[in-house]
Chains A and B, each alone.
Chain A
Amino acid sequence: MERVLFEQVGKQYGKLWALRAFSARFVPGETVSVIGPNGSGKTTMIKCLLGLVHATTGSIQVNGQRVGTDPAYRHQVGHMPQISRFPNELKIGQLINLMDDIRGSELARNDGPLMKELGVDRMMDKRLGTLSGGQRQKVSAVLAFRYAPSVLVLDEPTAGLDPVSAESLLAAVRDIKRTGCTVLITSHLMEEVEALADRIAYLQEGRLQFLLSPEEVIETTGHNRLSKAIPAMLTRNPKAHVESV
Protein backbone atom coordinates (compact mmCIF):
# COMPACT_ATOMS: atom_id res chain seq x y z
CA MET A 1 0.00 0.00 0.00
CA GLU A 2 1.22 3.49 -0.80
CA ARG A 3 2.22 5.76 2.05
CA VAL A 4 1.54 8.97 0.16
CA LEU A 5 -0.77 9.24 -2.82
CA PHE A 6 -1.14 12.31 -5.01
CA GLU A 7 -3.99 12.20 -7.52
CA GLN A 8 -4.16 14.92 -10.16
CA VAL A 9 -3.14 17.59 -7.66
CA GLY A 10 -3.08 21.12 -9.01
CA LYS A 11 -2.61 24.49 -7.38
CA GLN A 12 -3.52 27.76 -9.00
CA TYR A 13 -2.44 31.18 -7.73
CA GLY A 14 -4.44 33.78 -9.62
CA LYS A 15 -3.89 32.86 -13.27
CA LEU A 16 -0.70 30.90 -12.59
CA TRP A 17 -0.76 27.15 -12.12
CA ALA A 18 2.12 26.47 -9.74
CA LEU A 19 1.40 22.74 -9.83
CA ARG A 20 -0.47 20.92 -12.59
CA ALA A 21 -2.12 17.51 -12.38
CA PHE A 22 0.58 16.05 -10.16
CA SER A 23 0.06 12.34 -9.63
CA ALA A 24 2.44 10.05 -7.79
CA ARG A 25 2.53 7.34 -5.19
CA PHE A 26 5.27 6.97 -2.62
CA VAL A 27 5.71 3.71 -0.75
CA PRO A 28 6.96 2.95 2.78
CA GLY A 29 10.70 2.98 3.23
CA GLU A 30 11.59 4.89 0.09
CA THR A 31 13.38 8.18 -0.22
CA VAL A 32 12.26 10.41 -3.03
CA SER A 33 14.29 13.43 -4.08
CA VAL A 34 12.07 16.16 -5.41
CA ILE A 35 14.14 18.29 -7.71
CA GLY A 36 13.65 20.94 -10.35
CA PRO A 37 14.57 24.53 -11.12
CA ASN A 38 13.36 27.46 -9.01
CA GLY A 39 9.63 27.99 -9.41
CA SER A 40 9.09 24.46 -10.69
CA GLY A 41 6.42 23.63 -8.10
CA LYS A 42 8.50 21.62 -5.60
CA THR A 43 7.59 23.76 -2.61
CA THR A 44 3.94 23.95 -3.68
CA MET A 45 3.80 20.16 -3.94
CA ILE A 46 5.28 19.79 -0.47
CA LYS A 47 3.03 22.48 0.99
CA CYS A 48 -0.01 20.74 -0.47
CA LEU A 49 1.07 17.53 1.28
CA LEU A 50 1.60 19.36 4.57
CA GLY A 51 -1.74 21.14 4.32
CA LEU A 52 -0.10 24.56 4.25
CA VAL A 53 -1.58 25.18 0.82
CA HIS A 54 -5.04 24.10 -0.28
CA ALA A 55 -4.91 22.21 -3.58
CA THR A 56 -7.14 23.66 -6.28
CA THR A 57 -7.71 20.27 -7.89
CA GLY A 58 -7.12 16.65 -7.01
CA SER A 59 -6.56 14.90 -3.71
CA ILE A 60 -3.74 13.72 -1.46
CA GLN A 61 -3.76 10.80 0.95
CA VAL A 62 -1.29 9.96 3.70
CA ASN A 63 -1.64 6.39 4.96
CA GLY A 64 -5.14 6.37 3.51
CA GLN A 65 -6.17 9.56 5.32
CA ARG A 66 -7.19 12.35 3.03
CA VAL A 67 -5.34 15.64 3.43
CA GLY A 68 -8.03 18.22 4.07
CA THR A 69 -9.72 19.73 7.03
CA ASP A 70 -8.85 17.02 9.59
CA PRO A 71 -5.28 17.65 10.77
CA ALA A 72 -4.96 14.22 12.47
CA TYR A 73 -2.89 12.81 9.59
CA ARG A 74 -0.10 15.23 10.53
CA HIS A 75 0.66 13.06 13.57
CA GLN A 76 2.44 10.88 11.01
CA VAL A 77 4.30 13.68 9.26
CA GLY A 78 7.59 15.31 10.18
CA HIS A 79 8.72 18.46 8.42
CA MET A 80 11.94 20.39 8.27
CA PRO A 81 11.49 23.69 6.40
CA GLN A 82 14.21 25.36 4.40
CA ILE A 83 14.28 28.37 6.71
CA SER A 84 13.33 28.05 10.36
CA ARG A 85 12.26 30.92 12.55
CA PHE A 86 10.80 30.58 16.01
CA PRO A 87 9.47 32.93 18.70
CA ASN A 88 12.51 34.93 19.81
CA GLU A 89 11.80 34.87 23.52
CA LEU A 90 11.14 31.14 23.93
CA LYS A 91 13.92 28.79 24.91
CA ILE A 92 14.70 25.69 22.86
CA GLY A 93 13.48 23.51 25.72
CA GLN A 94 10.17 25.38 25.83
CA LEU A 95 9.68 25.00 22.08
CA ILE A 96 10.32 21.26 22.35
CA ASN A 97 7.91 21.05 25.31
CA LEU A 98 5.25 22.82 23.23
CA MET A 99 5.73 20.36 20.38
CA ASP A 100 5.71 17.43 22.83
CA ASP A 101 2.40 18.75 24.20
CA ILE A 102 0.94 18.96 20.72
CA ARG A 103 2.31 15.71 19.29
CA GLY A 104 2.19 13.59 22.41
CA SER A 105 5.36 13.29 24.47
CA GLU A 106 5.15 9.46 24.48
CA LEU A 107 6.22 9.56 20.84
CA ALA A 108 9.16 11.83 21.49
CA ARG A 109 12.57 10.20 21.25
CA ASN A 110 14.05 12.05 24.17
CA ASP A 111 17.33 10.20 23.87
CA GLY A 112 17.39 10.45 20.07
CA PRO A 113 20.93 10.37 18.74
CA LEU A 114 20.26 13.27 16.39
CA MET A 115 19.66 15.65 19.28
CA LYS A 116 23.03 14.74 20.78
CA GLU A 117 24.90 14.64 17.51
CA LEU A 118 23.65 18.07 16.51
CA GLY A 119 24.35 19.39 20.00
CA VAL A 120 20.78 20.55 20.58
CA ASP A 121 20.65 18.81 23.96
CA ARG A 122 23.32 21.22 25.20
CA MET A 123 21.39 24.30 24.09
CA MET A 124 18.02 23.69 25.78
CA ASP A 125 18.20 26.89 27.85
CA LYS A 126 19.19 29.08 24.92
CA ARG A 127 16.69 31.63 23.68
CA LEU A 128 15.58 30.91 20.12
CA GLY A 129 16.11 34.55 19.16
CA THR A 130 19.83 34.22 19.89
CA LEU A 131 20.41 31.20 17.60
CA SER A 132 22.29 31.38 14.31
CA GLY A 133 20.65 30.15 11.11
CA GLY A 134 22.50 26.84 11.34
CA GLN A 135 21.49 26.32 14.96
CA ARG A 136 17.85 26.99 14.07
CA GLN A 137 18.14 24.38 11.32
CA LYS A 138 19.41 21.89 13.88
CA VAL A 139 16.43 22.55 16.16
CA SER A 140 14.16 22.19 13.18
CA ALA A 141 15.79 18.87 12.24
CA VAL A 142 15.35 17.53 15.76
CA LEU A 143 11.66 18.46 15.72
CA ALA A 144 11.15 16.83 12.31
CA PHE A 145 12.59 13.48 13.44
CA ARG A 146 11.40 13.55 17.05
CA TYR A 147 7.89 12.10 16.80
CA ALA A 148 8.60 8.91 14.84
CA PRO A 149 7.01 10.13 11.61
CA SER A 150 6.01 7.69 8.89
CA VAL A 151 6.38 10.50 6.33
CA LEU A 152 9.29 12.89 6.58
CA VAL A 153 9.46 16.02 4.44
CA LEU A 154 12.83 17.74 4.30
CA ASP A 155 13.20 20.98 2.37
CA GLU A 156 16.87 21.65 1.56
CA PRO A 157 17.80 20.06 4.89
CA THR A 158 21.56 20.50 4.80
CA ALA A 159 21.55 24.13 3.61
CA GLY A 160 23.17 26.20 6.34
CA LEU A 161 24.49 23.21 8.28
CA ASP A 162 28.17 22.59 8.91
CA PRO A 163 29.55 19.46 7.15
CA VAL A 164 29.63 17.32 10.31
CA SER A 165 26.03 18.19 11.21
CA ALA A 166 24.96 17.69 7.60
CA GLU A 167 26.45 14.20 7.63
CA SER A 168 24.69 13.41 10.94
CA LEU A 169 21.43 14.53 9.42
CA LEU A 170 21.90 12.41 6.29
CA ALA A 171 22.76 9.41 8.50
CA ALA A 172 19.55 10.02 10.43
CA VAL A 173 17.64 10.01 7.13
CA ARG A 174 19.14 6.63 6.25
CA ASP A 175 18.27 5.31 9.73
CA ILE A 176 14.67 6.46 9.71
CA LYS A 177 14.20 5.09 6.21
CA ARG A 178 15.07 1.63 7.55
CA THR A 179 12.11 1.91 9.93
CA GLY A 180 9.77 2.18 6.94
CA CYS A 181 9.48 5.95 6.90
CA THR A 182 8.85 7.56 3.52
CA VAL A 183 11.18 10.49 3.02
CA LEU A 184 10.56 13.32 0.57
CA ILE A 185 13.57 15.55 0.24
CA THR A 186 14.18 18.60 -1.89
CA SER A 187 17.76 19.40 -2.67
CA HIS A 188 19.87 21.17 -5.24
CA LEU A 189 22.91 19.09 -4.29
CA MET A 190 23.32 16.19 -6.69
CA GLU A 191 25.65 14.39 -4.26
CA GLU A 192 22.81 14.33 -1.74
CA VAL A 193 20.37 13.09 -4.34
CA GLU A 194 22.76 10.36 -5.44
CA ALA A 195 23.49 9.35 -1.87
CA LEU A 196 19.90 9.18 -0.64
CA ALA A 197 17.33 8.88 -3.38
CA ASP A 198 15.57 5.68 -4.30
CA ARG A 199 13.63 7.70 -6.86
CA ILE A 200 13.87 11.15 -8.31
CA ALA A 201 10.80 13.29 -9.00
CA TYR A 202 11.69 16.03 -11.45
CA LEU A 203 9.32 18.97 -11.70
CA GLN A 204 9.35 21.76 -14.24
CA GLU A 205 6.81 24.54 -14.68
CA GLY A 206 4.51 22.80 -12.24
CA ARG A 207 4.53 19.49 -14.09
CA LEU A 208 6.10 16.20 -13.11
CA GLN A 209 8.60 15.46 -15.87
CA PHE A 210 9.75 12.08 -14.61
CA LEU A 211 9.70 9.89 -11.53
CA LEU A 212 12.44 7.30 -11.80
CA SER A 213 15.23 5.70 -9.81
CA PRO A 214 18.72 7.20 -10.26
CA GLU A 215 19.80 3.93 -11.91
CA GLU A 216 16.97 4.21 -14.44
CA VAL A 217 17.91 7.81 -15.22
CA ILE A 218 21.55 6.87 -15.72
CA GLU A 219 20.67 3.77 -17.75
CA THR A 220 18.25 5.67 -19.98
CA THR A 221 20.66 8.47 -20.78
CA GLY A 222 23.96 6.63 -20.79
CA HIS A 223 25.59 9.25 -18.54
CA ASN A 224 27.18 7.93 -15.38
CA ARG A 225 26.57 11.04 -13.26
CA LEU A 226 23.14 12.37 -12.32
CA SER A 227 24.25 15.96 -12.87
CA LYS A 228 24.63 15.12 -16.56
CA ALA A 229 21.99 12.44 -16.81
CA ILE A 230 19.11 14.60 -15.58
CA PRO A 231 19.48 17.36 -18.21
CA ALA A 232 19.88 14.65 -20.85
CA MET A 233 16.74 12.98 -19.54
CA LEU A 234 14.74 16.13 -20.09
CA THR A 235 15.64 16.28 -23.76
CA ARG A 236 14.06 12.85 -24.28
CA ASN A 237 10.40 12.11 -23.86
CA PRO A 238 10.08 12.48 -20.13
CA LYS A 239 6.30 12.10 -19.91
CA ALA A 240 6.75 8.44 -20.80
CA HIS A 241 8.49 7.96 -17.47
CA VAL A 242 5.80 9.38 -15.26
CA GLU A 243 3.95 6.60 -13.56
CA SER A 244 0.22 6.37 -13.95
CA VAL A 245 -1.77 6.46 -10.74
Chain B
Amino acid sequence: MWKVYKYTLIDLARNKFVGGWLLLLLAISLGLFQLEDQPVKAMLSLSQVLLALVPLVASVFTIVYLYDATDFTELLAVQPLHRSKILGGQVMALGTALVLGALLGAGIPMMIFLPGGASATLLLACIMLTLVFTAIGALIAIRNREKARGVGLGLVVWFLFVLVYDAVLLWVMFAFSDYPIEPLIVPLAALDPIDLGRIMVMLKVDLAAMMGYSGAVYEKFFGSIRGILIALFALAAWVLLPAALAFRSFRRKDF
Protein backbone atom coordinates (compact mmCIF):
# COMPACT_ATOMS: atom_id res chain seq x y z
CA MET B 1 0.00 0.00 0.00
CA TRP B 2 2.82 2.42 0.86
CA LYS B 3 4.35 1.99 -2.58
CA VAL B 4 1.10 3.03 -4.24
CA TYR B 5 0.70 5.80 -1.65
CA LYS B 6 4.20 7.15 -2.29
CA TYR B 7 3.94 7.31 -6.08
CA THR B 8 0.37 8.62 -6.06
CA LEU B 9 1.51 11.35 -3.70
CA ILE B 10 4.41 12.21 -6.04
CA ASP B 11 1.90 12.48 -8.88
CA LEU B 12 -0.41 14.64 -6.75
CA ALA B 13 2.45 16.87 -5.57
CA ARG B 14 2.95 17.97 -9.19
CA ASN B 15 -0.76 18.21 -9.88
CA LYS B 16 -1.72 21.77 -10.80
CA PHE B 17 -5.12 21.50 -9.14
CA VAL B 18 -3.63 20.63 -5.75
CA GLY B 19 -1.26 23.60 -6.00
CA GLY B 20 -4.13 25.82 -7.12
CA TRP B 21 -6.25 24.68 -4.18
CA LEU B 22 -3.48 25.61 -1.76
CA LEU B 23 -3.04 29.03 -3.33
CA LEU B 24 -6.80 29.68 -3.40
CA LEU B 25 -7.09 28.90 0.31
CA LEU B 26 -4.08 31.06 1.03
CA ALA B 27 -5.59 33.96 -0.92
CA ILE B 28 -9.01 33.63 0.75
CA SER B 29 -7.54 33.30 4.25
CA LEU B 30 -5.09 36.18 3.90
CA GLY B 31 -7.73 38.32 2.22
CA LEU B 32 -10.26 37.81 5.01
CA PHE B 33 -7.74 38.43 7.78
CA GLN B 34 -6.57 41.59 6.02
CA LEU B 35 -10.09 42.89 5.40
CA GLU B 36 -11.58 42.34 8.86
CA ASP B 37 -10.41 44.49 11.73
CA GLN B 38 -11.02 41.71 14.26
CA PRO B 39 -9.35 38.34 13.60
CA VAL B 40 -12.30 36.49 15.25
CA LYS B 41 -14.69 37.94 12.68
CA ALA B 42 -12.34 36.96 9.88
CA MET B 43 -12.10 33.48 11.33
CA LEU B 44 -15.89 33.16 11.40
CA SER B 45 -16.16 34.27 7.78
CA LEU B 46 -13.35 31.90 6.88
CA SER B 47 -15.08 29.04 8.66
CA GLN B 48 -18.24 29.57 6.57
CA VAL B 49 -16.18 29.49 3.38
CA LEU B 50 -14.03 26.52 4.41
CA LEU B 51 -16.88 24.40 5.71
CA ALA B 52 -18.61 24.71 2.34
CA LEU B 53 -15.58 24.67 0.03
CA VAL B 54 -13.47 21.91 1.61
CA PRO B 55 -16.13 19.17 1.17
CA LEU B 56 -16.87 20.28 -2.39
CA VAL B 57 -13.24 20.25 -3.50
CA ALA B 58 -12.41 17.02 -1.65
CA SER B 59 -15.27 15.04 -3.17
CA VAL B 60 -15.11 16.41 -6.73
CA PHE B 61 -11.31 16.23 -6.95
CA THR B 62 -11.28 12.67 -5.59
CA ILE B 63 -13.93 11.60 -8.09
CA VAL B 64 -12.17 13.23 -11.06
CA TYR B 65 -8.73 11.95 -10.03
CA LEU B 66 -9.90 8.38 -9.54
CA TYR B 67 -11.74 8.40 -12.89
CA ASP B 68 -8.69 9.78 -14.67
CA ALA B 69 -6.52 7.17 -12.98
CA THR B 70 -8.74 4.26 -14.05
CA ASP B 71 -6.23 2.87 -16.56
CA PHE B 72 -3.39 3.18 -14.07
CA THR B 73 -5.54 1.52 -11.42
CA GLU B 74 -6.13 -1.28 -13.92
CA LEU B 75 -2.37 -1.56 -14.42
CA LEU B 76 -1.92 -1.85 -10.65
CA ALA B 77 -4.76 -4.37 -10.43
CA VAL B 78 -2.88 -6.81 -12.68
CA GLN B 79 0.15 -6.65 -10.40
CA PRO B 80 0.58 -8.99 -7.42
CA LEU B 81 -1.16 -6.57 -5.08
CA HIS B 82 -4.35 -6.93 -3.08
CA ARG B 83 -6.97 -4.52 -4.34
CA SER B 84 -7.43 -3.07 -0.86
CA LYS B 85 -3.80 -1.96 -0.94
CA ILE B 86 -4.27 -0.23 -4.29
CA LEU B 87 -7.32 1.73 -3.20
CA GLY B 88 -5.88 2.32 0.27
CA GLY B 89 -2.72 3.85 -1.21
CA GLN B 90 -4.61 6.03 -3.67
CA VAL B 91 -7.22 7.31 -1.20
CA MET B 92 -4.68 7.95 1.53
CA ALA B 93 -2.53 9.90 -0.91
CA LEU B 94 -5.54 11.95 -2.03
CA GLY B 95 -6.48 12.62 1.60
CA THR B 96 -2.90 13.59 2.45
CA ALA B 97 -2.56 15.99 -0.50
CA LEU B 98 -5.88 17.70 0.19
CA VAL B 99 -5.28 17.90 3.95
CA LEU B 100 -1.84 19.40 3.35
CA GLY B 101 -3.40 21.90 0.94
CA ALA B 102 -5.88 22.95 3.61
CA LEU B 103 -3.28 23.03 6.40
CA LEU B 104 -0.81 25.12 4.43
CA GLY B 105 -3.34 27.28 2.60
CA ALA B 106 -5.66 28.11 5.49
CA GLY B 107 -3.72 26.91 8.51
CA ILE B 108 -0.68 29.14 8.18
CA PRO B 109 -2.67 32.42 7.98
CA MET B 110 -4.91 31.29 10.84
CA MET B 111 -1.97 30.47 13.06
CA ILE B 112 -0.37 33.82 12.23
CA PHE B 113 -3.44 36.04 12.72
CA LEU B 114 -5.41 34.08 15.32
CA PRO B 115 -3.34 31.42 17.03
CA GLY B 116 -5.27 29.34 19.53
CA GLY B 117 -7.99 26.79 20.08
CA ALA B 118 -10.57 28.25 17.70
CA SER B 119 -8.22 28.11 14.72
CA ALA B 120 -7.02 24.66 15.68
CA THR B 121 -10.62 23.43 15.92
CA LEU B 122 -11.48 24.86 12.52
CA LEU B 123 -8.42 23.18 11.03
CA LEU B 124 -9.39 19.92 12.71
CA ALA B 125 -12.89 20.22 11.26
CA CYS B 126 -11.37 20.90 7.81
CA ILE B 127 -9.11 17.85 8.10
CA MET B 128 -12.01 15.62 9.10
CA LEU B 129 -14.28 16.99 6.36
CA THR B 130 -11.53 16.47 3.79
CA LEU B 131 -11.20 12.84 4.83
CA VAL B 132 -14.97 12.32 4.95
CA PHE B 133 -15.53 13.72 1.46
CA THR B 134 -12.47 11.98 0.04
CA ALA B 135 -13.98 8.70 1.24
CA ILE B 136 -17.41 9.64 -0.15
CA GLY B 137 -15.79 10.69 -3.45
CA ALA B 138 -13.95 7.36 -3.67
CA LEU B 139 -17.17 5.46 -3.06
CA ILE B 140 -18.96 7.43 -5.79
CA ALA B 141 -16.09 7.00 -8.27
CA ILE B 142 -15.91 3.25 -7.72
CA ARG B 143 -19.64 2.61 -7.93
CA ASN B 144 -20.31 4.69 -11.05
CA ARG B 145 -18.66 3.94 -14.36
CA GLU B 146 -19.35 7.32 -15.99
CA LYS B 147 -17.27 10.29 -14.96
CA ALA B 148 -20.00 12.90 -15.61
CA ARG B 149 -22.50 10.90 -13.58
CA GLY B 150 -19.99 10.51 -10.77
CA VAL B 151 -19.17 14.21 -10.64
CA GLY B 152 -22.88 15.07 -10.78
CA LEU B 153 -23.60 12.71 -7.92
CA GLY B 154 -20.73 14.24 -5.95
CA LEU B 155 -22.23 17.70 -6.42
CA VAL B 156 -25.68 16.49 -5.39
CA VAL B 157 -24.30 14.87 -2.21
CA TRP B 158 -22.37 18.04 -1.36
CA PHE B 159 -25.42 20.25 -1.94
CA LEU B 160 -27.53 17.92 0.17
CA PHE B 161 -25.13 18.11 3.08
CA VAL B 162 -24.16 21.76 2.82
CA LEU B 163 -27.65 23.21 2.53
CA VAL B 164 -30.62 20.91 2.11
CA TYR B 165 -30.19 18.73 5.17
CA ASP B 166 -29.93 21.62 7.64
CA ALA B 167 -32.98 23.25 6.04
CA VAL B 168 -34.94 20.02 6.40
CA LEU B 169 -33.80 19.71 9.99
CA LEU B 170 -34.96 23.25 10.69
CA TRP B 171 -38.31 22.51 9.10
CA VAL B 172 -38.68 19.39 11.25
CA MET B 173 -37.96 21.45 14.36
CA PHE B 174 -40.63 24.01 13.51
CA ALA B 175 -43.14 21.43 12.41
CA PHE B 176 -42.76 19.41 15.61
CA SER B 177 -42.04 22.28 17.98
CA ASP B 178 -44.87 21.20 20.26
CA TYR B 179 -43.15 17.89 20.95
CA PRO B 180 -39.99 17.18 23.00
CA ILE B 181 -37.82 16.29 20.00
CA GLU B 182 -34.61 18.05 21.08
CA PRO B 183 -32.92 14.74 22.05
CA LEU B 184 -33.54 13.58 18.49
CA ILE B 185 -31.67 16.53 17.02
CA VAL B 186 -28.32 15.28 18.30
CA PRO B 187 -28.34 12.02 16.30
CA LEU B 188 -30.08 13.75 13.39
CA ALA B 189 -27.35 16.41 13.18
CA ALA B 190 -24.75 13.64 13.21
CA LEU B 191 -26.17 12.45 9.89
CA ASP B 192 -24.68 15.53 8.19
CA PRO B 193 -20.87 15.71 8.36
CA ILE B 194 -20.78 19.39 7.38
CA ASP B 195 -23.16 20.15 10.23
CA LEU B 196 -20.84 18.27 12.54
CA GLY B 197 -17.88 20.34 11.37
CA ARG B 198 -19.83 23.53 11.92
CA ILE B 199 -20.88 22.39 15.39
CA MET B 200 -17.26 21.65 16.33
CA VAL B 201 -16.14 25.12 15.30
CA MET B 202 -19.03 27.02 16.84
CA LEU B 203 -18.79 25.21 20.14
CA LYS B 204 -15.18 26.32 20.41
CA VAL B 205 -15.75 29.88 19.21
CA ASP B 206 -18.72 30.12 21.57
CA LEU B 207 -20.98 32.27 19.46
CA ALA B 208 -24.39 30.74 19.96
CA ALA B 209 -25.96 33.03 17.38
CA MET B 210 -23.83 31.47 14.64
CA MET B 211 -24.41 27.94 15.76
CA GLY B 212 -27.60 27.05 14.03
CA TYR B 213 -30.24 25.04 15.77
CA SER B 214 -28.39 21.76 15.92
CA GLY B 215 -25.25 23.43 17.27
CA ALA B 216 -27.22 25.04 20.04
CA VAL B 217 -28.71 21.69 20.97
CA TYR B 218 -25.29 20.07 21.01
CA GLU B 219 -23.97 22.70 23.37
CA LYS B 220 -27.01 22.41 25.61
CA PHE B 221 -26.67 18.64 25.78
CA PHE B 222 -22.97 18.14 25.97
CA GLY B 223 -21.15 21.36 26.72
CA SER B 224 -18.35 22.46 24.44
CA ILE B 225 -15.52 19.93 24.95
CA ARG B 226 -17.78 16.89 25.18
CA GLY B 227 -19.77 18.15 22.19
CA ILE B 228 -16.60 18.58 20.13
CA LEU B 229 -15.42 15.09 21.01
CA ILE B 230 -18.76 13.57 20.10
CA ALA B 231 -18.83 15.51 16.82
CA LEU B 232 -15.27 14.31 16.15
CA PHE B 233 -16.25 10.73 16.86
CA ALA B 234 -19.26 11.01 14.54
CA LEU B 235 -17.01 12.48 11.82
CA ALA B 236 -14.60 9.57 12.22
CA ALA B 237 -17.56 7.25 11.63
CA TRP B 238 -18.36 9.32 8.54
CA VAL B 239 -14.84 8.59 7.24
CA LEU B 240 -14.93 4.91 8.04
CA LEU B 241 -18.37 4.01 6.71
CA PRO B 242 -18.02 5.26 3.11
CA ALA B 243 -14.39 4.08 3.06
CA ALA B 244 -15.47 0.57 4.09
CA LEU B 245 -18.18 0.57 1.43
CA ALA B 246 -15.68 1.84 -1.16
CA PHE B 247 -13.20 -0.95 -0.32
CA ARG B 248 -15.98 -3.54 -0.49
CA SER B 249 -17.08 -2.27 -3.91
CA PHE B 250 -13.50 -2.06 -5.18
CA ARG B 251 -12.78 -5.67 -4.21
CA ARG B 252 -15.80 -6.79 -6.25
CA LYS B 253 -15.33 -4.36 -9.12
CA ASP B 254 -14.99 -5.60 -12.69
CA PHE B 255 -12.68 -3.42 -14.74
Contact = CB atoms under 8 A, between A and B. Distances in A.
Interface string B9-31: 01111110000000000000000
Contact of A101 (B3, B10, B78): B3
Interface stretch (A33-41, A49-57, A170-178): A49-57
Given A84-B71, A103-B80, A94 B252 contact: no
Interface stretch (A72-80, A112-120, A208-216, A217-225): A72-80
A173 B71 CA distance: 24
A103 B70 CA distance: 20
A87 B72 contact: yes
A115 B87 CA distance: 30
A28 interface: no
A89 B11 contact: yes
A184 B74 CA distance: 18
A47 interface: yes
SS class of chain B's interface: helix, strand, loop or mixed?
helix
Interface in A181-230: none
A51 B75 CA distance: 11
A47 B80 contact: no
A102 interface: yes
A240 to B, nearest CB: 32
Interface in A58-83: 71-75, 77, 79, 81, 83
Interface residues of B, number: 28
B77 A52 contact: yes
B80 A86 contact: no
A86 B3 contact: no
Interface residues of A, number: 32
Contact of B79 (A74, A83, A87, A97): A74
B82 interface: yes
B174 interface: no
Contacts of A98: 3-4, 6-7
Contacts of A72: 80
Given A81-B75, A94-B7, A98-B3, A52 B81 contact: no
A87 B255 contact: no
A99 B10 contact: no
B254 A52 contact: yes
Given A52-B255, A53-B255, A90 B11 contact: yes
Contact of A102 (B69, B79, B83): B79
B113 to A, nearest CB: 33
A48 B83 CA distance: 15
A85 B72 contact: yes
A73 B80 CA distance: 7
A2 B216 CA distance: 70
A74 B11 contact: no
A71 B11 contact: no
Contacts of A99: 79
B10 A90 contact: yes
Interface of B: 3-4, 6-8, 10-15, 69-72, 74-83, 252, 254-255
Interface of A: 13, 47, 50-54, 71-75, 77, 79, 81, 83-90, 94-95, 97-99, 101-103, 143
